Structure 1
Amino acid sequence: MKQYHVTVTHEGRWWRKWWMVHVPDVDGLTQARRLSDAPRMAREAIAAALDLNPDDVSVDIHVES
């Protein structure tokens, strides 16, 4: 199983903050409400881009401050 590198950054103002989830290998970008949702959102974005099952996708999450 290939592992995909994922970069997560926090965006927005105090009343509306999102975690932006960037997957360079598939030129993908998605967002998550909570940091804990980032791995699932990344797997779903990769799976959609590559026509894979999200359960077959492995991600390495890097959080940028």
Structure 2
Amino acid sequence: MASTVVQLQIYQNGAWRDFGASVASASTQPNLNISDSAGKAEGCWEYRGKIARSAFHVNWDDTTKTGSSITLCR
């Protein structure tokens, strides 16, 4: 059993904030291909991805990781 949630984040007012809708999958495959359809905000902003994974193998374990940021301008 597994649950994976991917969230795009934007750096605003000195903090990382969720941006757009999160995307979830219950797949137990080692490789997932999921995406968020959020558009870019006006101006230049830093973005990063956040992934939270909960899985059961004898017991439950939770892991949350964030990717490195990238600046995109619109």
Relative contact order, higher structure (CA 8 A, sep 6+): 1
Q: Rg larger in 1 or in 2?
A: 2
Higher strand share: 2
TM-score by length of 1: 0.28
